[in-house]
């Protein structure tokens, strides 16, 4: 009897391994959102890891998460590493390529709870006065990831995080765009006021000079 049970278990394990092995060997998750902010403003939120805490969907999952920054402040070579609870795990990101206002390419390495490497791309394109941001992540599925795909939908799970992140990025980017627009308008108003004052002063000086000038034909 015990032998039959063991044989049955072995067969089930073999069948499960075969099923897992036949799962897709790659994955890709993509989400997009349009923001009422120029590409340069949106790009700045992505290319600088120091700004991710303001919009990243994972930043608030572990208040005690340890983060480390290295390399340049932003752009190619900038790196970010994190280590936290079970919700965020441990990993690191490296910006491998960037086109200001157009694209940011990131190598994403998960270290815990399992190891995996993904290619993450943020593609930006003008959308009227705003920007359309497409966030995608792709990579190869190892055995653990294939097994997990039997009970959970990676696109749905990670896609939800992307949607939350893009919604937060939209709020942050639009607030920054408004701040910059207000600041530019204020500077323009100040410049216009200064120019008007200078023109008025010049006109007053010209009038004063004209008043001092003897009338034509007057006796000296």
Does any domain span residue 32? Answer: yes
Q: What are the residues facing 127 on neighbouring strands?
A: 130
- pLDDT, position 133: 98
Question: Using an 8 Å Cβ cutoff, are 85 and 65 in contact?
Answer: yes
Spell out the alpha helix ranges (H) of 85-136: none
Does any domain span residue 192? Answer: no
- pLDDT, position 119: 94
- The enclosing domain of 97 has a CATH number of 3.30.530.20
Of the candidates 147, 151, 124, 145, the residue with the CA atom closest to the CA atom of residue 135: 124
Does any domain span residue 160? Answer: yes
| 3-class secondary structure, 208 | helix
Of the candidates 172, 133, 151, the residue with the CA atom closest to the CA atom of residue 55: 172
Beta strands in the chain (DSSP E): 26-35, 66-70, 79-83, 90-99, 103-112, 116-127, 130-140
Does any domain span residue 6? Answer: no
pTM: 0.77
- pLDDT, position 27: 75
Does any domain span residue 10? Answer: no
pLDDT tens digits for 2-31? 676 767 666 666 655 565 455 555 678 999
Does any domain span residue 16? Answer: no
- pLDDT, position 162: 94
What is the number of domains present in the chain? 1
Which domain, by its residues, includes 156? 26-178
* Segments in the chain below pLDDT 70: 2, 4, 6, 8-26, 140-153, 215-220
- pLDDT, position 78: 97
- pLDDT, position 215: 59
Does any domain span residue 184? Answer: no
């Amino acid at each position: 009897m015990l032998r039959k049970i063991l044989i049955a278990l072995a067969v089930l394990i073999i069948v499960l391994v075969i099923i897992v092995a036949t799962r897709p060997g790659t994955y890709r998750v993509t989400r997009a959102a349009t923001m009422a902010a120029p590409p340069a403003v949106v790009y700045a939120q992505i290319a600088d890891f120091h700004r991710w805490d303001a919009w990243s969907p994972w930043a608030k999952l572990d208040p005690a998460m340890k983060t480390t920054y290295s390399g340049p402040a932003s752009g190619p070579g900038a790196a970010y590493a994190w280590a936290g609870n079970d919700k965020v795990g441990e990993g690191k990101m490296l910006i491998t390529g960037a086109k200001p206002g157009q694209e940011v390419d990131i190598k994403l390495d998960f270290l815990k709870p399992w190891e995996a490497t993904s290619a993450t791309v943020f593609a930006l394109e003008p959308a009227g006065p705003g920007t359309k941001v497409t966030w995608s992540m792709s990579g190869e599925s190892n055995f653990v990831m294939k097994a997990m795909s039997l009970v959970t939908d990676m696109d749905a799970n990670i896609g939800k995080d992307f949607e939350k992140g893009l919604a937060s990025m939209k709020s942050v980017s639009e607030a920054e765009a408004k701040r910059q627009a207000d600041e530019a308008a204020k500077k323009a108003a100040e410049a216009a006021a200064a120019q008007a004052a200078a023109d008025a002063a010049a006109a007053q000086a010209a009038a004063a000079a004209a008043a001092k000038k003897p009338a034509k034909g007057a006796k000296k």
